[in-house]
Amino acid sequence: MGRRGYPTEFRRRVLDLLNTGRSVAGIAHDLQISDQTVYAWRRQDRIDRGEITGMTTAEKAELRVAKNRIAALEMQLAVATKAVEVFKAETDANGGTRRSS
């Protein structure tokens, strides 16, 4: 759940402390973390539980995987396109035949 930097179990314990009625400021001070971090974790937890609208942790992970896959495919396409350009230039320069190695 959330970005890297704090273990999932730590985040879970912070959320459990919030559920006991402790204040965000108190928890943040005691654990020496930003209160904004605690607010963000609480908000994401509420999204994951369906209490408020937003992108769930699972959806964010799926989107991250998809974006990485798209980036890899775009790189493959760029390499293939460059290879076609090189072969085409080589063919044109040799009067329609490829140079043999």
Question: pLDDT tens digits for 21-42?
Answer: 999 999 999 999 999 999 999 9
- pLDDT tens digits, 5-18: 899 999 999 999 99
d(C-alpha 88, C-alpha 80), whole Å: 12
Element (H, E) at 23: none
Confidence of residue 91 (pLDDT cuts 50, 70, 90): confident
* Secondary structure (DSSP) of 26-49: HHHHHHT--HHHHHHHHHHHHHHT
Per DSSP, helices labelled H in the chain are 8-19, 24-31, 35-48, 57-93
* pLDDT at 73 > cutoff 60: yes
Look at residue 3 and tell me whether its pLDDT is greater than 80.
no
Q: What is the pTM of this model?
A: 0.71
